[in-house]
Structure 1
Amino acid sequence: MTQPKPMIVTLEIAADDMLFFQQLRDAHFPAHANYLDAHITLFHRLPGGEPAITDTLAKLAARPPLSLQVNGIVKFTNGIAYTLFSPELQTLHAELQTAFMPWLVRQDKQPLRPHITIQNKVTAFKAAQLHSTLLASFTPFAIQATGFGTWSYLRGPWKALQKINFNKR
């Protein structure tokens, strides 16, 4: 019997907000390595096919959408990401960590540092150039999180499994 592929959980954001980040990613992420859309990863490796995970996500989606503050641009060695701030998201993530504790890998046990990567796998020089360019005109702004996404990890690309929208039940 084949073992299910690991599951990734993302935070979905409003389509208009996503368009901004996707356009930057398309412009600045090397095409040969850009096989994912812009995204916010909440959990990197959960067991695929575990119904308690999707049940928990569905239960916690019974809430209004979240506002996130895009509060900075960070440069790492070979890329750039926009950083996000939301105390509400931190609380929600901690609740998910508690529910998912039996399955968490070390990376997913860490405090959440939400971000959206728009460039990676470039030289440090290219990353520094883009960081400087983007920072020159950056002003913090708000985006809206609309739900959770689940994905099957395929050793590179991801396959969409399910979107679970927030609602005000």
Structure 2
Amino acid sequence: MAASDANGRDMAGRDVAPLIVTLRLDGHSFERLDALRRAYFPPERNFIPAHLTLFHALPGTQEEEVVANLATACAGTAPLPLRFSGLRGLGKGVAFNVDSPPLLRLRALLAGAWHDWLTPQDRNVPKPHVTVQNKVDPSEARNLLGHLQAGFEPWDGQGEGLLLWRYRGGPWEAAGEFPFRG
């Protein structure tokens, strides 16, 4: 990673904060999941709203190309069907599984364009999910998982676009929104 000054800029003045790409969820799904995240995520660690991360750390020095790729991909992509199919224990948290073959195809297309930049985490086989609790005692996570599973019914939602963020060591800073227009 490039050296940076106190403002997160390299010697050429480019912002080098890592970039994150998430899926913009439909309003109903987002509100439902964000309410759970606000209720169950430790407040001192909950810097961002509910989200489905597609890429965790793209190089900030490549922002111009990332933006161009996102704009092109989203211009030709119709809103994506999503199925919130179940819950997953994370050891110290809980997440909702998201099934969507079209989402996986879009992610694979982008991963191909950015292959040389991907971290080991972003090279892994994606398992789309939205985390509503994390970094708690495992017994607390197991209790929430059981509670949510008891009343869980799958639902359908929609991916409406992609969001680009800069990672600032805790809070994320919005860097772009790319609606699906196909």
Q: If the length of structure 2 is used for normalisation, what is the TM-score? A: 0.89
d(CA) in 2 for partners of 1:31, 1:5: 24
> In the alignment, which residue of structure 1 is the partner of 2:59?
47
Letter in 1 for 2:93: G
d(CA) in 2 for partners of 1:109, 1:73: 23
Q: How does 1:13-28 map to 2 (within 5 A)?
A: 13-28=25-40
Q: Does 1:120 align with 2:131?
A: no
d(CA) in 2 for partners of 1:137, 1:8: 32
Aligned to 1:138, what secondary structure does the other structure show? coil
Aligned to 2:146, what secondary structure does the other structure show? helix
Q: Does 1:32 align with 2:40?
A: no
d(CA) in 2 for partners of 1:16, 1:132: 23
State which of 75, 81, 97 in structure 1 corresponds to 2:111: 97
d(CA) in 2 for partners of 1:81, 1:14: 17
Letter in 1 for 2:21: V
RMSD of aligned C-alpha atoms?
A: 1.1
Structure 2: tracts of 5 or more residues without a match: 11-15
Aligned to 2:161, what secondary structure does the other structure show? strand
d(CA) in 2 for partners of 1:165, 1:105: 25
Q: How does 1:1-169 map to 2 (within 5 A)?
A: 2-3=9-10, 4-50=16-62, 51-62=64-75, 63-168=77-182
Q: 1:77: how far off? A: 1.1
Q: 1:49: how far off? A: 4.2
Q: 1:155: how far off? A: 1.0
Structure 1: tracts of 5 or more residues without a match: none
Aligned to 1:92, what secondary structure does the other structure show? helix
Letter in 2 for 1:160: A
Q: 1:124: how far off? A: 0.7
d(CA) in 2 for partners of 1:14, 1:119: 20
Letter in 2 for 1:19: E
Q: What percentage of residue pairs aligned between the two structures are identical?
A: 37
Worse overlay, 77-86 or 2-11: 2-11
Q: 1:16: how far off? A: 2.2
d(CA) in 1 for partners of 2:103, 2:138: 31
Q: If the length of structure 1 is used for normalisation, what is the TM-score? A: 0.96
State the aligned residue count.
168
